[in-house]
Amino acid sequence: MKKLESFLNSGLYIFIIFLITFVSWSFYHDTPPHLFNLYNMIGLFILIAINTLVLASFKNTLYSLPTIISFLFIINKATISFESVSAFGFPLFAFSVFLLGPLIHFIRFKPKMKKGIFFLGFGLIALSYLIPLIYTPFEIAAIPVSLMGTLFFGVYVFYSSTMKGNLNYLFKMMMFANILLTAEVIFYLYQGYLLFPELDFYHRIFQGWQRNLGWANINDMCFYIALTFPSYLYFIFKKPKTYLLWFIMILP
């Protein structure tokens, strides 16, 4: 078990998680009769299985964070909306399976709940998401949106109660997340270049830049890339002669 924990604490583990995320996300074409791409769904369930195994095996939930971050960027369905109830099927089923991990962790390790510094802030956010249900007309499509605040609050309480912090590990995740996001942007630019051979080089690249990344959340890749970019500086200050970091930092 110590060898496994040592592996989970390594950059290789984080790299593998984000590699699975990128490969799965790259499948975006329709695979009828499924509403979502079949291979994209398989990749998501692989990450859910890894997340469940980690939460069931270790008291420190830090090692499940790479999969949690990956869930934000693995879905690739540009046309999904809350207007179709049928669109909820796969996400709701995946979320139900995902909940097994925290449930098993609570049963096995019985962690004590801690409020944490941002308990009140996340609690107010959750409340602000729920209040509109009181005075707005009832719509099934609005329920997932209204519950997002509660989900964020629950995730915060869970990890503040079960995780032992590791600053170096956090910046590793940020750096690999930045590489993942950069790779996804480059992939879409390349796809735009391939799909529009009749245009000149600039407009072929621009077609890829305009595409929806299909994450089913805020699709602003510039925001996420800028948010995770400081991770390079953290490691460069620690190891200034690691020239590979300097080179990779140029890509975003």
Question: Is residue 70 domain-resident?
Answer: no
**Amino acid, res. 131:** I
What's the CA gap between 13 and 50, in Å, rounded? 11
Of 165, 182, 197, the domain-final residue: 165
Question: Is residue 141 domain-resident?
Answer: yes
pLDDT band at 238, cuts 50/70/90?
confident
pLDDT band at 70, cuts 50/70/90?
very high
Question: Is residue 1 domain-resident?
Answer: no
pLDDT of residue 142: 72
Stated as kind and residue range, the H or E segment containing 105 is helix 100-109
Give the domain range for residue 151: 113-165
What's the CA gap between 54 and 223, in Å, rounded? 29
What's the CA gap between 4 and 66, in Å, rounded? 16
CA distances from 48 to 15, 98, 102 (A): 16, 6, 11
- In this prediction the pTM is 0.85
Of 137, 165, 193, the domain-final residue: 165
CA 44-47-51 angle, to 5 degrees, is 140
Is there a contact between 171 and 231 (Cβ–Cβ < 8 Å)? yes
pLDDT of residue 28: 76
Question: Is residue 133 domain-resident?
Answer: yes
Residue indicated by tokens 């990956």: 70
Number of domains in the chain: 2
Question: Rounded to a whole number, what is the largest CA-CA distance in the chain?
Answer: 62
Question: Is residue 230 domain-resident?
Answer: yes
Stated as kind and residue range, the H or E segment containing 171 is helix 167-195
What's the CA gap between 92 and 176, in Å, rounded? 28
Of 141, 165, 189, the domain-final residue: 165
Question: Is residue 22 domain-resident?
Answer: no
Same domain, 218 and 201: yes
Same domain, 243 and 178: yes
Residue 128 has pLDDT above 60, yes or no: yes
pLDDT of residue 23: 92
Q: What are phi and psi of 161, to 5 degrees?
A: -95, -20
Question: Is residue 132 domain-resident?
Answer: yes
Residue 163 has pLDDT above 60, yes or no: yes
What's the CA gap between 221 and 212, in Å, rounded? 10
